[in-house]
Amino acid sequence: MFISSAFAQVAPVAGGDMQSSLMSMLPLILMFVVLYFVMIRPQMKKSKEHKAMIESLVKGDEIVSVGGLLGKVSKLGDSFLGLEIANGVEVQIQRSAVVQVLPKGSIK
């Protein structure tokens, strides 16, 4: 009277449980793969190109710095370089501050 009837439950199949957990992880894995190809990989490529550009600087190159300074490289050091921005005016900047190497004859 007070006790209800007990109904037997079927035990879940082990393979079905594994498949459902894999399907729930699939969107997360897919988002990481898309994130890698859209954001991480291009940033790594850009970083490699910038490092190669900085290492290939030679005296006399015309460059643009992060701050917008244009000038010719007059001195090269390990982490700094001398930049001649006008006749007799030289400033020191970090190598990592170089944004672009201009073609020869761009600065007059």
Tell me the per-residue pLDDT of 68-108, one tens digit each, with 9 for 90 and over. Answer: 999 999 999 999 999 999 999 999 999 999 999 999 998 87
Same domain membership, residue 47 and residue 27: yes
Same domain membership, residue 108 and residue 69: yes
Same domain membership, residue 67 and residue 38: no
Residue 73 contacts residue 61 (beta carbons within 8 Å) = yes
pTM of the full structure: 0.70
- DSSP helix/strand/coil, 22: helix
Residue 62: which domain range?
58-108
Percent of residues, the chain, with pLDDT higher than 70? 88
Looking at residue 70, which CATH number applies to its domain?
Answer: 2.30.30
Whether 106 is in a domain gets the answer yes
Same domain membership, residue 89 and residue 52: no
Whether 1 is in a domain gets the answer no
Main-chain dihedrals φ then ψ at residue 40, nearest 5 degrees: -75, -50
At 8 the pLDDT is 64
Same domain membership, residue 63 and residue 40: no
In sign, the C-alpha dihedral spanning 50, 52, 55, 57 is negative
At 18 the pLDDT is 73
Averaged pLDDT score across all residues of the chain: 89
**Domain total in the chain:** 2
In Å, what is the CA distance from 104 to each residue of 30, 73, 85? Answer: 46, 12, 15
